[in-house]
Chain A
Amino acid sequence: MKREPVWVRILDWLNDRLQSNKLSELARKKLVPVHKHSFWYLFGGMALFLFLIQVVTGSLLLIYYRSGPESAFESVKFLVSEVPFGWLVRSVHSWSANLMIAILFVHMFSTFLLKSYRKPRELTWITGVLLLFVSMGMGFTGYLLPWNELAFFATKVGTQIAGVLPFLGDFVMKVLRGGDDVTGATLTRFFGFHVFILPAVLALLLGLHVYLVQLHGMSKPPDVERREEKTGKPCPSVPFFPNFIYRDLIAWIFVLVVLVGLAVLAAWELGVRADPLAPAPAGIMPEWYFVFMFQTLKMFPAHVGPFEGEQLAIVGFILAGLFWMFVPFLDRSSPEGARGKLFTVLGICAIAYIGVMTLVSYLVG
């Protein structure tokens, strides 16, 4: 008998130990339904791809980044001007963060409108919403790290807003800032949050989220289910491997090209070094995904009855966030697959609200 070449034998050996054929079997057995809404299945994968890019570019940035108000800006400047491909790594990291949040929004609203949060996927939904919150936290903390003027003042305003919170405000603001004001202490703790605490939480949640998706398989939207019932024929589906992987790969290539294109053609600006003593420049704005909340606070009346307007708005946002997270338990009509029209309308209203507020802020401001 002819002996197998060495590399085949190594692979066999590894396969024996890792039992990876079971994994690929699993991937082959996993089915992805094919219907008119299948397109939206791609966004979770794209977000995952961008997360991996964040991990890789983030680790690379750590090689040169030096936290601290004296060195942060200069180290980033050195990175983008002197280090080969440093500009690319930083620009990709910044753009990828923003693209990731944008795609998370699309992913979340598409699963919301397709009612994928119905039983038994309640936990998948909750971990997903938490993942979005943690990602926004990553964005908020990461924004400050280059220690430039815009980020410095945006952080000042952002943490100030947290300080308006009733009862807990002062405490939260102090914890976020590491003192009474945004200083080097804030930078140090934001760095800690951004490179360890939040990524650890994110990784745990992400693991759980992906595990749950594998466990329950892809959710079929209510109208697809109804058609199955009506015709008695199951919706056609393809194996995850290799058929759906091809679709994922195409989406990933698309994301990669767009990402590198943005990084090359619209390099992420570094701006000027933050000067805590300088007056705030005009037009301080938070990152775009916080803008709808920022704009709401700006437009909210100063006093509503006995309450302060800002406090009321912040409490409102917290309640809305909690409501959003517990939607699977509140949308009672969904588990049976009936038309939960009310929640569909709610979802569309939420999208419209976020869109209009963001637009108003950019057009007026």
Chain B
Amino acid sequence: MEKDKVSRRQFLNALLGTGLFAGLLGSVYAAVRYVIPPDVPEASPSMVVAARVGELNPGTAKIFRFGAKPGLLLRLPDGSYRAFSAICTHLDCTVQYRSDMAHIWCACHDGHYDLNGVNISGPPPRPLDKFGVIIKGEEIFVSREG
């Protein structure tokens, strides 16, 4: 009888000890993983790296991701940069730069914007939202506050 009780107590203690150990181990693992910074650097709230210097030739453009939305980074023929929201103000399609027209164009319904983002032809009711461009070292940053 007495022996039974002792072995049961030992079993319970072992069980609780193992459980506690497993819980602690899990928590410590999670905490350590948490503290190690992730590979993806934290995106600045209102700024994003849109391209690298030299990536775009004059007179070309690229679409970049700004949070969940597309942005358009444009390199003018004179070498300077401009950036806009790439969302057409008509029906939210993604606009593109047309080097043959030398302005911004939306393929969905033939909307045209000039290189200031102003709607010049077709259905768009408003100009594109303008972003600011900052070149820092090798990277081209685009900021929401133009």
Is B one of A's binding partners? yes
A205 at the interface (CB under 8 A from B): no
> In the bound complex, how far is the Cα of B37 from the Cα of A71, in angstroms?
17
A74 at the interface (CB under 8 A from B): yes
B6 at the interface (CB under 8 A from A): no
Q: Name which of B27-35, B49-57, B76-84, B124-132 contacts chain A.
A: B27-35
B7 at the interface (CB under 8 A from A): no
Contact between chains at A74 and B44 (CB < 8 Å):
yes
User: Assuming the A-B contacts A83-B38, A84-B38, are A70 and B45 also in contact, with contact meaning beta carbons closer than 8 angstroms in the complex?
Assistant: yes
Q: Name which of A85-93, A309-317, A347-355 contacts chain B.
A: A85-93
In this complex, the member of A60, A64, A78, A84 whose beta carbon has the largest number of chain B beta carbons within 10 angstroms is A84
A183 at the interface (CB under 8 A from B): no
A73 at the interface (CB under 8 A from B): yes
Contact between chains at A84 and B46 (CB < 8 Å):
no
> In the bound complex, how far is the Cα of B36 from the Cα of A60, in angstroms?
12
CB distance from B9 to the nearest CB of A (A): 12
Complex contacts, B38 vs chain A, CB 8 Å: 82-84
Instruction: Considering the complex, give the chain B residue whose CB is closest to the CB of A61.
Output: B34
Complex contacts, A60 vs chain B, CB 8 Å: 31, 34-35
A282 at the interface (CB under 8 A from B): no
> In the bound complex, how far is the Cα of B30 from the Cα of A73, in angstroms?
23
CB distance from A79 to the nearest CB of B (A): 9
Instruction: Considering the complex, give the chain A residue whose CB is closest to the CB of B31.
Output: A60
Instruction: Considering the complex, give the chain A residue whose CB is closest to the CB of B46.
Output: A70
Size of interface on B: residues with Cβ below 8 Å to A: 14
Interface residues of B in 1-56 (CB under 8 A from A): 30-31, 33-38, 40, 42-46
Contact between chains at B33 and A84 (CB < 8 Å):
yes
CB distance from B123 to the nearest CB of A (A): 26
Contact between chains at B45 and A85 (CB < 8 Å):
no
> In the bound complex, how far is the Cα of B42 from the Cα of A84, in angstroms?
13
8 Å CB contact of A73 from B34, B37, B40, B45: B45
Instruction: Considering the complex, give the chain A residue whose CB is closest to the CB of B37.
Output: A83
Contact between chains at B30 and A88 (CB < 8 Å):
yes
A8 at the interface (CB under 8 A from B): no
CB distance from A42 to the nearest CB of B (A): 19
> In the bound complex, how far is the Cα of B41 from the Cα of A7, in angstroms?
44
Query: Residue-by-residue, is A54-87 near B (CB-CB < 8 Å gives 1, otherwise 0)?
Result: 0000001001100000110111001000111110
Instruction: Considering the complex, give the chain A residue whose CB is closest to the CB of B144.
Output: A70
Instruction: Considering the complex, give the chain A residue whose CB is closest to the CB of B42.
Output: A78
> In the bound complex, how far is the Cα of B44 from the Cα of A108, in angstroms?
44
Contact between chains at A82 and B42 (CB < 8 Å):
yes
Instruction: Considering the complex, give the chain B residue whose CB is closest to the CB of A63.
Output: B35
> In the bound complex, how far is the Cα of B34 from the Cα of A88, in angstroms?
10
> In the bound complex, how far is the Cα of B33 from the Cα of A63, in angstroms?
13
Contact between chains at A74 and B34 (CB < 8 Å):
no
Complex contacts, B36 vs chain A, CB 8 Å: 84
8 Å CB contact of A78 from B30, B33, B43: B43
**Which 3 interchain pairs have the tightest Cβ spacing?**
A74-B45, A84-B33, A85-B30
**12 pairs from A and B in contact (CB 8 Å cutoff):** A63-B34, A64-B42, A70-B45, A70-B46, A71-B45, A73-B45, A75-B42, A78-B43, A82-B42, A84-B33, A84-B38, A85-B34
Query: Chain B interface (Cβ within 8 Å of chain A)?
Result: 30-31, 33-38, 40, 42-46
Query: Chain A interface (Cβ within 8 Å of chain B)?
Result: 60, 63-64, 70-71, 73-75, 78, 82-86, 88-89
Given contacts A60-B31, A78-B43, A85-B31, 20 further A-B contacts (CB under 8 A): A63-B34, A63-B35, A64-B42, A70-B45, A71-B44, A74-B43, A74-B44, A74-B45, A75-B42, A78-B42, A82-B38, A82-B40, A82-B42, A83-B37, A83-B38, A84-B36, A84-B38, A85-B30, A85-B33, A85-B34
